[in-house]
Structures are given as C-alpha cells and as structure tokens.
Amino acid sequence: MKLDAKIPEGAIADKWTKYKATIPLVNPANKRHIEVIVVGTGLAGAAAAATLGEMGYKVKAFCFQDSPRRAHSIAAQGGINAAKNYSNDGDSVHRLFYDTIKGGDYRSREANVHRLAEVSTAIIDQCVAQGVPFAREYGGLLDNRSFGGVQVSRTFYARGQTGQQLLLGAYSALSRQIGRKQVDMFSRHEMLDVVIIDGKARGIIARNLVTGEIERHFGHAVVLATGGYGNVFFLSTNAMGSNVTSIWKAHKKGALFGNPCFTQIHPTCIPVSGDHQSKLTLMSESLRNDGRIWVPKKQNDTRKAVDIPEEERDYYLERRYPAFGNLVPRDIASRAAKERCDAGYGVGTSKMAVYLDFSDSINRLGKKVIEARYGNLFEIYEKITGEDPYTMPMRIYPAVHYTMGGLWVDYNLMTTIPGLYATGECNFSDHGANRLGASALMQGLADGYFVLPITIGEFLSKDIQTKAIPTDHPEFEKAEREVKEKISRMMSINGTQPVDHFHKQLGKVIWEYCGMSRSAEGLQKAKKMVQEIRADFWKNVRVPGKADGMNPELEKALRVADFIELGELMIDDAYSRNESCGGHFREEYQTEDGEALRDDNNYAYVSAWEYKGENEQSVLHKEELIFENVKLVQRSYK
C-alpha cells in the first residue's frame, strides 16, 4: 500500500494558505443535504460539529457521556499554546513549528505541524470571542506563561482549568447549533462500528447506553474525535470512560493505525496509593515553572522532606539539564524520575515518587502569588493525599497521560478509508514521538475549528449528488448484526471474573514492558502475555445484567476487549522500532549518558499498521518523513 499524505506543493509557509484557496467548495444549497457524523464532543469534536453546523451541514454528534460538556478535554489544566508573541520574547509561527517538531523528536510531519502553528493564533481569538475567561494582566490584556521544552512564554491559560474553559466555549458553540437544529445531539451513545459502503465511510452503528438499543446512523462522511487510548494501561490520567473502541473499529475496517506505541508518560502525577486505585491525577506541567524537582542525595533516605538540608538534596533536572532545568520536555523529565527511583533515591512509602517543591517560590513570591497561580491544583493534591503542598513538597511520579499515536491521516485529516476522518488526539498527526505541554488543546481546536471543516470539502464536494443512503442497506444490516453477535457472545460467557480484573492485568503488562522503557526481550514476553489475557478474557469474563438496558459493565467489557487487541499492536510497533525517540525509549538504544538515541537513517518514518484479521500478524507500512525546513539533530536540553 502506498501512503499518500497529500501534502500540498510549495514553500512550507505558503502550503496551507494556497491549499485552502484551492479546495473545492460545497455551495450552501448543497450543504443542507449533506450529513456529517461527528463522534466525540471534546475540543476537536465539539469544535468540528459546531463549525460544520455553522457552515450549513446537517450534523449528528455523539458522545458516551450524559452531556457533550463532559468530554475529557475538560480536565486539561495548564494551558494552550499560540504563536501570538504577546510576550515580545521573539516568538513566531516558525518558532512554534520548530519547537513542536523538535519536541516530537523529529517524528512528525512538517506540513501538518506548520499548519498547526499557523492557525494557533486564530484559536485564541475565537475562544476570547466566545467568552472564554483567560487569565489577564491588570492592563486588561491576556497573560502568558511558559511550558516545558520551549524558551518563550506562549501559553494562554485560565487558572489551572484551561481545558474546562475551552471545552465549555466549544460546548456553547455546539449548543447554539443544537438549538438551531443544525446539529442533532446523541448523548449517552457509544459508537460500536463504522459502516462502509462502496469503499466509503457512510455511517456508524451506535449503542444507546440508556435503552441498550443498537442504532444505525447514516452520514455522507464520518469524523472521529474520540480522544486517546491511554486507558490501555488501566491506570492513566484519562477519564474512566475514555476508550479506543471507535478508532479500533475503524482500524479493523481498514484504517491504518499510526505509531501506536508512541504514548506520553507525564512526569508530574500524584503517585499510586494502593491496589484500589482507579485512575491517576495529573498535577499540571505549569507547576514546573515555580516548583523544583528533587530527591535526597542519600539512597533510602527516610527523613521528612523538610528535615533534609539543602546540600543533601539532588535537584537532578537542574543538574543534568542546566539550560532547561525543571522545564525539560515530558519524556525526559519522566525518564529522569524513573531513573532516580529505580536507583533507590525515591521518596514516600512506595519509594516510587520524587519531590516537587514550592518552598523557594513561596519564599520569593509569597504564598498569595503561588495560590493565585496554582491554588486549585494545590487543593486537588490536598484532597487526594491529605497533605498540604504549601508546607511540604508534593510527591509526584510519572503516569500515562496522552497518546501521540492514533489513526493515520493525510494532510486533510482523512484516514485511509475515504470519507472517514480522525481529529484531535485520536489521530497520529502532529506530535511525533512526544507532545509538548499545552499543545493538545491547540491541536484539538485547530483540527476542529479551522482544519477539518475546510479539508472535508475536498471529499464532500464530490458527493453533492449522493442521496442519503437508507439505513436498511445491507452493509448497515451486516454491521449491526456483527455488533449484536459480539455483545451476545460476551454476555453468554458468564465466567468468574469482572471486567476490571482483565483490564488491570493488561495495564500491568503494558506499563511494565511497553511503558517508560522497552526492550526487545520484554516486548516479546509481553506479546505472549497479552495473548493469554485475551484468551482468558473471552473464556472467563462475567458481564452481569442484560444487554437491553443501562449496563455499565457491558460498556466496559466492550472497551476492554478492544484495549486488549490494541495492546498487542502497541507491542508490535515498539518492537519494530529499533531506536529510541521521544516517549519511545528502547533500552538497547541510548547514548552514554542515558539519553534517547535516534536512528534517522532507518527510522525517520511514521509506522502505519494494517489490520489483517483475527490472529493474523498486522502489516507495517511506512510513511517516510521528509524534513526540508528543520535540520535533524540530537535533541539537547542541556
């Protein structure tokens, strides 16, 4: 299969402008007859559904939560990047582009990333116009702060709840279109398959989570905006319901999956407290602006943090990376924490934690300033741990936070299935092997507001003659039958173990062997283990209750079945990439001082996996990455 990324011709800075001017348009009279399905209502989905509705398309939007406002974008804390240069520190579109490519360890596509940097400024304008209450200076203008991996202040924020405010902005735009009947909203619905007719995505099968009814929905095109798959690890900072099902079903129907093993482990999360733990909570990267990370210089030091004198503390990030200090990119900060803990310098009862200390900043700036900047984060920390971070340092440890991998898409954000699009975190496109902080919100809204609504015209303009396909079409019937068969097969196992039992097992294997560091040997072992979990699941899972009604255990079971299959693909991908880059750290490939060692001659490509059927080995395709504007160098934050 030849992968065509459809990157427009021309100089990098002109590609998007020129391309936009040449994309075929759909006239307003025709838009009224064209239906678009949008699955997921986070930043990418809500923004896309609202914008497509404004443009005049008939939109059907779906989310599994009880309201579109609850999508997990809401939990993003720190901020959103934009190349506004309001801070007058030399920022520009090119710099944001460059930082993102470098931060991603040179494994993303130049043209997409440049477009992202270009539209970033319009996002801030749009959000302010919607009434998003960003942080401001006393003069009434917008305030900025700095994030990891960059040396400018380009991050806009709304206290520690930026994701919430941006999502509520997109939700309000979506609500307006629902009120105008441009968007038909289906809450508490979960997509369980995509329907393909004559080679094009023409609809979905969804389960009404309240009634259990399996429904068929037609669309001229289908847009997936269903977020990341970090919950494959069981413990992650994702919401409990975040899942891979929609993109996994699309993958099984022919959409290639890009870089599945590229996952982001966030360095600053609240450590695990016990076996009962159901999820992990992030402490925003913004904290690293004012917090200093350290461990005791002595191994197994059991003294309280405040009793350890300054000279007996190892501020290991400042020591190893003097140029960026505590603000090195996430992958580097995470590995450095793991390295210290593995070497026996960890703190807390589990010894799997490091300190994030604000005492210097509190002394310098006063408690009030720190409270204004991070008050809500300190509160969250105190609620979860019962400790006061104003008086004792936070204990933090890395946790799974984001997945750079996702469905492979071309420049139009279209997958390898015509008419099927993937936006936001669920595509692979912009972050390479490591995402920089405050760039997820940027990408979600860029895709949703400014990219997809335009690029989808390329496909839909050829479809103005296509009448809505009735949902009694044989392909709809077939897809529905398959979904129903799978559900009844699952319900009839009636084994001995609840769904979580398998999910936890899977999570442990993926975390251990395909998490912060990976090795060929470990990955081979893990592959076998995941296959065993899969066999066990289909023999011994117990799903109580009935399928024709509200049944949260069934929802979980359907998601976990897909996570198990995905886990195997992640392992294959990590095994096939014989280099270290960004979040993908292969123990065999590191520099003398333990940094990731890339192999640009052999691995400067996107791996795009093709599904070949149950129990068949997936096939690897490669999209070679061509760097014309950025020179590939060893990433250095020293």
Partner 1 sequence: MKITLKVWRQQNGKTPGEFKTYQLNDVSEDMSFLEMFDILNDDLVRKQDEPVAFDHDCREGICGMCSMYINGRAHGPMTGTTTCQLHMRHFKDGDTIVVEPWRATAFPIIKDLMVDRSAFDRVIQAGGFVSVNTGNAVDANSVPIPKQDADKAFDAAACIGCGACVATCKNASAMLFVSAKVSQLALLPQGQPERHIRVKKMVEIMDAEGFGNCTNTGACEVECPKEISLENIARMNRDYLVANIAD
Residues with catalytic annotation?
Answer: 330
- Asked if 344 interacts with partner 1 (CB under 8 A), we say no
Please give the residues from 281 up to 340 whose contact with partner 1 meets the rule CB under 8 A.
281-282
- Asked if 545 interacts with partner 1 (CB under 8 A), we say yes
Which residues does residue 422 pair with via DSSP β-bridges, in sequence order? 224
- C-beta of 271: minimal distance to partner 1 in Å? 11
Q: Exposed (0-12), middle (13-18) or buried (19+): which is 446, by Cβ within 10 Å? A: buried
Write the DSSP string, 421-477. Answer: EE-GGGB--SSTTSPPTT-HHHHHHIIIIIIHHHHHHHHHGGGTTPPPPPTTSHHHH
Task: Out of 140, 309, 470, 613, point to the residue binding partner 1 (CB under 8 A).
Answer: 140
Which CB sits closer to partner 1, 24 or 545? Answer: 545
Please give the residues from 195 up to 234 whose contact with partner 1 meets the rule CB under 8 A.
210
DSSP label at residue 143: P
Parallel, antiparallel or unpaired: strands 257-258 and 406-407: antiparallel
Geometric angle at alpha carbon 434, from 570 and 524, rounded to 5°: 25
Task: Out of 161, 245, 423, 429, point to the residue binding partner 1 (CB under 8 A).
Answer: 161
Q: Stretches 18-26, 169-177, 226-234, 416-424: which one binds partner 1 (CB under 8 A)?
A: 169-177
Which residues does residue 136 pair with via DSSP β-bridges, in sequence order? 142
- Asked if 66 interacts with partner 1 (CB under 8 A), we say yes
**Pick from 219, 144, 175: nearest CA to 419:** 219
d(CA 530, CA 6): 36
- Asked if 47 interacts with partner 1 (CB under 8 A), we say yes
Task: Out of 75, 352, 493, 632, point to the residue binding partner 1 (CB under 8 A).
Answer: 75
Write each residue from 416 to 455 as x if it is in contact with partner 1 (CB under 8 A), else as -, in one continuous string. ---------------------------------xx--x--
- C-beta of 50: minimal distance to partner 1 in Å? 7
- C-beta of 183: minimal distance to partner 1 in Å? 10
Task: Give the interface size with partner 1 as a residue count (CB under 8 A).
Answer: 84
- How many CB atoms sit inside 10 A of residue 302's CB? 10
- Asked if 171 interacts with partner 1 (CB under 8 A), we say yes
Q: Stretches 100-108, 165-173, 193-201, 483-491: which one binds partner 1 (CB under 8 A)?
A: 165-173
Please give the residues from 448 up to 487 whose contact with partner 1 meets the rule CB under 8 A.
449-450, 453
Q: Say whether 371 sits in a helix, a strand or coil.
A: helix
CB 282 within 8 A of CB 456: no
- Asked if 84 interacts with partner 1 (CB under 8 A), we say yes
Q: Exposed (0-12), middle (13-18) or buried (19+): which is 57, by Cβ within 10 Å? A: buried
- Asked if 354 interacts with partner 1 (CB under 8 A), we say no
- Asked if 409 interacts with partner 1 (CB under 8 A), we say no
- C-beta of 298: minimal distance to partner 1 in Å? 27
Residue 373, C-beta contacts closer than 8 angstroms, at least 6 positions apart: 286, 289, 290
Task: Out of 61, 93, 185, 336, point to the residue binding partner 1 (CB under 8 A).
Answer: 185
- Asked if 189 interacts with partner 1 (CB under 8 A), we say no
Residue 529, C-beta contacts closer than 8 angstroms, at least 6 positions apart: 509, 513
- C-beta of 132: minimal distance to partner 1 in Å? 8
- C-beta of 390: minimal distance to partner 1 in Å? 17
- Asked if 239 interacts with partner 1 (CB under 8 A), we say yes
Write the DSSP string, 509-547. Answer: HHHHHHSSSB-HHHHHHHHHHHHHHHHHHHHHB---S-S
- How many CB atoms sit inside 10 A of residue 610's CB? 16
CB 183 within 8 A of CB 172: no
Task: Out of 173, 244, 414, 516, point to the residue binding partner 1 (CB under 8 A).
Answer: 173
- C-beta of 284: minimal distance to partner 1 in Å? 11
CB 221 within 8 A of CB 460: yes
- C-beta of 104: minimal distance to partner 1 in Å? 26
Please give the residues from 119 up to 138 whose contact with partner 1 meets the rule CB under 8 A.
122, 124-138
